[in-house]
């Protein structure tokens, strides 16, 4: 130890710390790993982009097919036979939209849990209860052999794409993220998607269920205010509702309800009112706003067939559009085609229900719901003589009383037959004949022809009831409320070449009191149709540009009806705060146009929304509010009556209109302050009211940054012609016209269109979100069926028989 201590140890200069260098190396490695991962991900996504140039071999083709994609990504498919045309349409649509197609058929069939897991089980149960796929299977047998062939050819084309993409490992990235491959396409898949669209546009079952629940807890006076009209035999029916209660808590909490604003605008003007001297047609169907669009624009040509327009991805043909002679468009007619029946269950046998004094066996469909990562879930669907039991899908309650649903679309229907005939129709008589096959959903068709004809037809299978009017559920244990048939086809509402020289519909009332049949008592609010009428009446000669401007119109006629009266009721209140007074001043000077860069629309729209809470809570909770599908119409009528000095129970019990309006206004101001600050002059409608076209995977962050469009301020609102419905909680614009079209029959080969957000479902495609700017600013692309024009884009793909 001493020797060791005596040794002199030389002093060593300390070395500099190396941590910064080490950290830098680590960061560099991480960056490289991220770059590699990003590069691999980019390569993987890029690999799945559709081949749009060159040649591809396709099995089943008889001759070569050429596909030209124009500057907007619209495929123009040239075939030498319909056989090859529909194989090619299936292939090309799958190239752009296969993930959307697969999710669509899964949702409609109740098969989402298989790929997204247990969180979708209730949704799957819901759609299996409704039985859209069973209805599609029933419908297939009603089709002609020719239409069945079209479905088969289309499925063959889709499967060609699926098999090729699997072989080259080039399926879209969404399948990799979710970890599955799509099954082969079947003709029944196309029909099931069609049934889902009928479901999305039907929407009166939930109103019946809502009023059924309200009948258990509200006074007759308050219940009557929620009714579209009081039933003729209302006392009897209301008593039945109260005597046979059903717990709808689970139904309200988990039901998948259509958007109550699903609708549309369409109009036609005659040559006498058009600058060109020929009819013009405009159509903008209102549905959800997503990535990709629900609509897929396509041009199909084969011997005897030359048609352009849009179709739902997964369905062959063109449902809305034009050929070289005629054009057509639709809005939702919205008749009462769904009835809920109150069914009495046998206490000794839960699968039997009373009818005419006897117990009848229900049909039991034993379903198995596959669940990703978990064991399958067995599920029994119970179907009575009236239809499936829907009140128990979320929980097997087996109550003494249940609700079943009868619906026209659950019967065999043949819409695809009609679609094939639309394409080849040459005049109004041809087109009208094709409508004999279009049963569900019931639609308002408008029509224009190069021969000068304009026409309207409210078309679909609409029931005639022995009793009842479709406003509330009716007793199912008796034959007193059965359907006795359907409105005769030749007595459906029809107008040809009216003296007004134009026809317009916007889900408004399309009949007068002389019409002998019941359609519905729940028409849409009148403001869009009134504004369209104003504009079309205001000019002697209208142009394509006028039609486009009207489709984007943001004038708020609801505000014109209510705002001044509501402001007058609160402007002298001593309870107004300084910020309230500033907001009120903005409203008083507002031009009643929902421009995105104005403050007043934010104050007005939040005010109208706040009335929901002030008037209806706590009687109606958030879950039950989802079933309140005519809420906007009911609320308008309550305010209308109160402004006219009439008694209204819901408003009177809140202390009268002045008190209710002030409470709603101050709640709106408080929310606006929380969103955009305490200076009303700096508020902006478009800062709250933005559209981002969400992708199904965009709900999982940070995938929204990859798949969703960049949020864009949007004008308009729920009641403007330029429809832009929004989520009440977030302001996100989630509803409107994914497709707008205008056509002047002076040149029926051309149409002016916009598909928001774009044609492609592939995130790296140049046509993925390329139409967002046009869609949000009211611009259009021109689509032509003249070869020289669309071929000029140069994107030529030849599909060669294998």
Global pTM value:
0.92
pLDDT band at 24 (very low <50, low <70, confident <90, very high): low
CA distances from 517 to 234, 448, 465 (A): 19, 27, 10
pLDDT (mean) for 423-429? 98
pLDDT band at 35 (very low <50, low <70, confident <90, very high): low
Structure tokens given for 448 = 């224009």
Q: Is the pLDDT of residue 17 over 60?
A: no
pLDDT tens for each residue of 628-680: 999 999 999 999 999 999 999 999 999 999 999 999 999 999 999 999 999 99
Mean per-residue pLDDT of the chain:
93
**Cis, bond preceding 360 (omega within 30 deg of 0):** no
> What pLDDT sits at residue 16?
46
Q: Is domain 264-291+322-335+415-462+490-551 annotated with CATH 3.40.1160.10?
A: no
d(C-alpha 573, C-alpha 659), whole Å: 9
pLDDT tens for each residue of 694-713: 999 998 989 999 999 999 99
Q: Is the pLDDT of residue 250 over 90?
A: no
Q: Is the pLDDT of residue 392 over 90?
A: no
Unique residue bearing structure tokens 């680590």: 26
Q: How many Cβ atoms from other residues are within 10 Å of residue 138's Cβ?
A: 16
> What pLDDT sits at residue 731?
97
Q: Which residues are catalytic?
A: 264
CB 465 within 8 A of CB 484: yes
CA distances from 552 to 198, 281, 410, 721, 773 (A): 26, 15, 36, 7, 13
What is the CATH T-level fold of the domain 557-734, as seen in this structure?
Answer: 1.10.1400
Length of the chain: 802
Q: How many Cβ atoms from other residues are within 10 Å of residue 603's Cβ?
A: 25
pLDDT (mean) for 269-296? 98
Structure tokens given for 464 = 């005639």
pLDDT (mean) for 735-761? 98
d(C-alpha 505, C-alpha 283), whole Å: 10
CA distances from 420 to 300, 327, 450, 753 (A): 12, 14, 20, 22
d(C-alpha 11, C-alpha 645), whole Å: 100
Unique residue bearing structure tokens 């309006």: 661
Burial of 750-789, coded b for 16+ CB within 10 Å and e otherwise, reads bbbbbbbbbbbbbbebebbbbbbebbbebebbebbbeeeb
Domain residues of the chain, as ranges?
205-259+337-410, 264-291+322-335+415-462+490-551, 557-734
Q: Is the pLDDT of residue 200 over 50?
A: yes
d(C-alpha 379, C-alpha 384), whole Å: 16
Residues in binding site for Ca(2+): 336, 339
CB 211 within 8 A of CB 267: no
Cα 507-510-513 angle, rounded to 5 deg: 135
pLDDT band at 202 (very low <50, low <70, confident <90, very high): confident
d(C-alpha 415, C-alpha 425), whole Å: 15
Q: Is the pLDDT of residue 4 over 50?
A: no
Burial of 625-654, coded b for 16+ CB within 10 Å and e otherwise, reads bbbbbbbbbbbbebbeebbeeeebbbbeeb
> What pLDDT sits at residue 245?
81
Backbone dihedral region for residue 92 (phi beyond 0: left; psi -120 to 50: alpha; all else: beta): alpha
> What pLDDT sits at residue 157?
98
pLDDT tens for each residue of 127-177: 999 999 999 999 999 999 999 999 999 999 999 999 999 999 999 999 999
Half-sphere exposure of 470 (CA within 13 A, CB side): 24
Closest CA to 699 of 707, 710, 691, 711: 707
pLDDT (mean) for 742-763? 98
d(C-alpha 18, C-alpha 138), whole Å: 75
d(C-alpha 277, C-alpha 258), whole Å: 40
Contacts of 588 (CB under 8 A, 6+ apart): 567, 571
Task: Give phi and psi for 559, each to the nearest 5.
Answer: -65, -35
Contacts of 358 (CB under 8 A, 6+ apart): none
- CA torsion sign for 704, 710, 715, 720 is negative
Q: Is the pLDDT of residue 230 over 90?
A: no
d(C-alpha 631, C-alpha 210), whole Å: 11
pLDDT (mean) for 357-376? 97
pLDDT band at 564 (very low <50, low <70, confident <90, very high): very high
SS3 for 742-786, per residue? EEECCCCCEEEEEECCCCCCCCCCCCCCCCHHHHHHCCCEEEECC
d(C-alpha 93, C-alpha 300), whole Å: 12
CB 743 within 8 A of CB 24: no
Structure tokens given for 547 = 């039609």
Q: How many Cβ atoms from other residues are within 10 Å of residue 694's Cβ?
A: 18
Unique residue bearing structure tokens 């003296």: 499
Structure tokens given for 342 = 């109150």
Cα 609-614-617 angle, rounded to 5 deg: 105
Eight-state DSSP code of residue 654? T
> What pLDDT sits at residue 23?
62
Contacts of 53 (CB under 8 A, 6+ apart): 795, 796, 797
d(C-alpha 41, C-alpha 47), whole Å: 10
| 3-state SS, residue 485 | strand
Unique residue bearing structure tokens 């029909």: 191
Eight-state DSSP code of residue 169? T
pLDDT tens for each residue of 539-563: 999 999 999 999 999 999 999 999 9
CATH architecture label of 205-259+337-410:
Roll (2.30)
CA 336 vs. chain centroid, Å, equals 19
Structure tokens given for 458 = 């409210």
Q: Is 706 exposed, middle or buried (0-12, 13-18, 19+ CB in 10 A)?
A: middle
What DSSP letter does each residue of 495-531 carry, written as one string?
Answer: EES-TTSEEEESS---S-TT--S---S-PPPSHHHHH
209-223, 476-490, 629-643, 749-763: segment of lowest average pLDDT: 209-223
């Amino acid at each position: 130890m001493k020797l060791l201590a005596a040794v002199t140890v030389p002093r060593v200069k300390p070395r500099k710390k190396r941590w910064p260098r080490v950290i830098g190396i680590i960061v560099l490695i991480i960056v490289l790993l991220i770059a590699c991962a990003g590069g691999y991900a980019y390569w993987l996504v890029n690999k799945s982009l559709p081949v749009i140039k060159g040649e591809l071999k396709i099995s089943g083709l008889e001759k070569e097919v050429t596909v030209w994609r124009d500057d907007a990504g619209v495929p123009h498919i040239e075939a030498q036979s319909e056989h090859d045309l529909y194989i090619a349409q299936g292939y090309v649509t799958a190239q752009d939209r296969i993930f959307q197609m697969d999710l669509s058929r899964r949702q409609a069939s109740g098969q989402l849990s298989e790929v997204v897991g247990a969180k979708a089980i209730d949704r799957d149960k819901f759609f299996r209860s409704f039985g859209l796929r069973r209805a599609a299977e029933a419908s297939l047998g009603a089709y002609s052999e020719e239409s069945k062939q079209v479905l088969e050819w289309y499925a063959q084309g889709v499967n060609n794409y699926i098999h090729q993409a699997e072989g080259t490992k080039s399926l879209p990235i969404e399948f990799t993220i979710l970890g599955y491959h799509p099954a082969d396409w079947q003709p029944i898949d196309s029909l099931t998607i069609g049934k889902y669209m009928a479901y999305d546009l039907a929407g009166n079952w939930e109103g019946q269920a809502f009023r059924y629940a309200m009948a258990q807890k509200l006074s007759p006076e308050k219940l009557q205010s929620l009714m579209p009209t009081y039933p003729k035999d209302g006392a009897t029916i209301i008593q039945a509702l109260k005597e046979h209660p059903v717990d709808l808590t689970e139904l309200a909490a988990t039901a998948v309800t259509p958007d109550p604003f699903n609708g549309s605008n369409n109009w036609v003007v005659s040559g006498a009112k058009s600058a060109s001297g020929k009819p013009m047609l405009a159509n903008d169907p209102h549905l959800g706003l997503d990535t990709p669009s629900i609509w897929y624009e396509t041009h199909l040509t084969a011997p005897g067939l030359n048609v352009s327009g849009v179709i739902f991805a997964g369905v062959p043909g063109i449902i809305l559009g034009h050929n070289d002679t005629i054009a057509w468009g639709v809005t939702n007619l919205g008749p009462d085609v769904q009835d809920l029946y109150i069914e009495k269950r046998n206490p000794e046998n839960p699968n039997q229900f009373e009818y005419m004094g006897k117990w009848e066996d229900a049909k039991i469909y034993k379903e198995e719901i596959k669940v990703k990562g978990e064991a399958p879930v067995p599920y029994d669907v119970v179907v009575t003589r009236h239809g499936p039991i829907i009140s128990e899908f979320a929980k097997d309650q087996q109550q003494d009383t249940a609700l079943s649903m009868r619906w026209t679309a659950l019967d065999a229907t043949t819409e695809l037959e009609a679609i094939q005939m639309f394409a080849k129709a040459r005049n109004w008589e041809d087109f009208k004949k094709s409508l004999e096959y279009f049963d569900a959903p019931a639609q308002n068709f408008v029509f224009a022809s190069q021969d000068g004809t304009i026409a309207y037809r409210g078309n679909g299978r609409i029931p005639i009831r022995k009793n009842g009017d479709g406003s509330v559920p009716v007793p199912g244990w008796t034959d007193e409320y059965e359907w006795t048939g359907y409105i005769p086809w030749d007595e459906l509402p029809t107008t040809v070449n009216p003296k007004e020289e134009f026809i317009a519909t916007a889900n408004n009332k399309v009949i007068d009191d002389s019409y002998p049949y019941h359609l519905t008592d729940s028409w849409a609010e009148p403001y869009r149709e009134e504004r369209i009428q104003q504009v079309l009446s205001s000019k002697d000669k209208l142009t394509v540009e006028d039609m486009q401007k009207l489709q984007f119109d943001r004038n708020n006629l609801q505000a014109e009806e209510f705002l001044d009266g509501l402001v007058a009721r609160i402007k002298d209140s001593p309870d107004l705060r300084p910020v309230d007074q500033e907001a009120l001043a903005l409203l008083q000077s507002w031009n009643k146009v929902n421009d995105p860069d104005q403050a007043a629309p934010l104050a007005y729209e939040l005010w109208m929304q706040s009335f929901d809470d002030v008037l209806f809570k706590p009687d109606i909770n958030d879950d039950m509010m989802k079933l309140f599908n005519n809420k906007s119409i009911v609320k308008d009528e309550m305010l209308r009556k109160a402004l006219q000095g009439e008694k209204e129970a819901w408003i009177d019990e809140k202390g009268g209109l002045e008190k209710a309006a002030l409470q709603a206004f101050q709640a709106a101001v408080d929310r606006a302050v929380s969103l955009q600050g305490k200076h009303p002059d700096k508020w902006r409608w478009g800062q709250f009211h933005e559209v981002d076209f969400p992708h199904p995977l965009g709900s999982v962050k940070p995938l929204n940054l990859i798949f969703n469009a960049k949020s864009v301020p949007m004008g308009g609102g729920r009641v403007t012609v330029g429809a832009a419905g929004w989520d009440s909680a977030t302001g996100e614009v989630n509803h409107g016209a994914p497709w707008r079209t205008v056509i002047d029959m002076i040149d029926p080969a051309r149409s002016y269109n916009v598909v928001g957000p774009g044609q492609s479902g592939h995130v790296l495609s140049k046509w993925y979100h390329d139409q967002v700017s046009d869609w949000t600013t009211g611009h259009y692309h021109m689509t032509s069926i003249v070869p020289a024009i669309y071929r000029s884009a140069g994107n030529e793909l030849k599909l060669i028989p294998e």
